Amino acid sequence: MRDNFVRQLSEIARTDRRLFLMTADLGFRVLDDFATEFPRKFLNVGIAEQNMIGIATGLALEGRIVFTYSIGNFSTLRCLEQIRNDACYHGANVKVVAVGGGFSYGVLGISHHATEDLAIMRSLPDMTVVAPGDQWESREATKALFATPGACYLRLDKSAAPATARSGEVFTLGKARTVRQGSDITLAATGGILGAALEAADSLVEQGIACRVLSIHTIKPFDTESILSACRETGGIVTVEEHTIHGGLGSLVAETCLDEGVKPALFRRIGLRAGFSSVVGSQEHLRREYGMDAVAIAKAVAELLSAGSPRSPRPRLRVSAGGSAGR
């Protein structure tokens, strides 16, 4: 995804003088061509993410549209105060880009696992939050965020789903994409783990289960209607995210349903439930370890549907005139 992001930035930079890219001493091979072609639109601030956001905000307030680039936790948690107080509060055109969403940097351990970022960034006022699921969404999201006023967060993943775009399809921020039709249950996924959700949906077809698969590429603003439609038209919702279950996509879907007074027949959150992701390994290994690979997703869906199959109605308690429950 990061290569497509940089290519798209280069295309924009060739025609728009406002674009500016900053990095905190990261991505040399990825950013080399951009830095060579646009030396006056690029700055490496060194390992100083907090300072990077401050500089980016200053440039943005002078008319630039600034993308800051670093590893997931470093570009968000290390400089959260600056993102909140400088970029968001002033409505500055600062686009915080995090490479390595979820377990992308799995072998480097918890310091490089970005598993709380969506929850934290979506809580910031006036912050747009985007996590593309495939390469097309990555390119389109980059263009869309360049054109979106104010502070934005772009979470890029090492993994990506296979191409899902239809011919002539238009990408719209805040509008989920239905990438697979089905009525038995809805798989709502955000980020590159969309690929695992699609793989799980394929395997569930063999069990006679037809999944609707939604790519929730925009966490904020959120597409409420796509979730309400899933509640009305399918047998339930399973959220899939390479992120803690606390405050991320699953929490957002649950909040949305409760706010709107709509209850899915079945509901399950798939994500990190183990606290800190203390295991070290590849992204694929960590997905297996923490129960969010395609096999685990398919198993969870099948079990959920089986447990939620129609049963005989529970007997109702009769209430006497005095208010006590009868037998």
Q: Which residues are catalytic?
A: 49
Element of type H or E holding 60: helix 49-61
Element of type H or E holding 205: helix 194-205
Structure tokens at 53: 């956001």
In whole angstroms, what is the distance from residue 186 CA to residue 300 CA? 12
In whole angstroms, what is the distance from residue 219 CA to residue 244 CA? 14
In whole angstroms, what is the distance from residue 50 CA to residue 56 CA? 10
In whole angstroms, what is the distance from residue 97 CA to residue 72 CA? 8
Which amino acid does the sequence have at 12?
A: I
In whole angstroms, what is the distance from residue 88 CA to residue 57 CA? 9
Are the beta carbons of 234 and 305 closer than 8 angstroms?
no
In whole angstroms, what is the distance from residue 89 CA to residue 112 CA? 27
Q: 265-282 as b/e, with b when 16 or more CB fall inside 10 Å? A: ebbbbbbbeeeebeeeee
123 Cβ contact list (under 8 Å, min separation 6):
247
- The sign one gets for the Cα dihedral 80, 81, 87, 90 is positive
Q: Kindly report the backbone phi and psi dihedral angles of residue 323, in degrees, each rounded to the nearest multiple of 5, phi listed first.
A: 95, -5
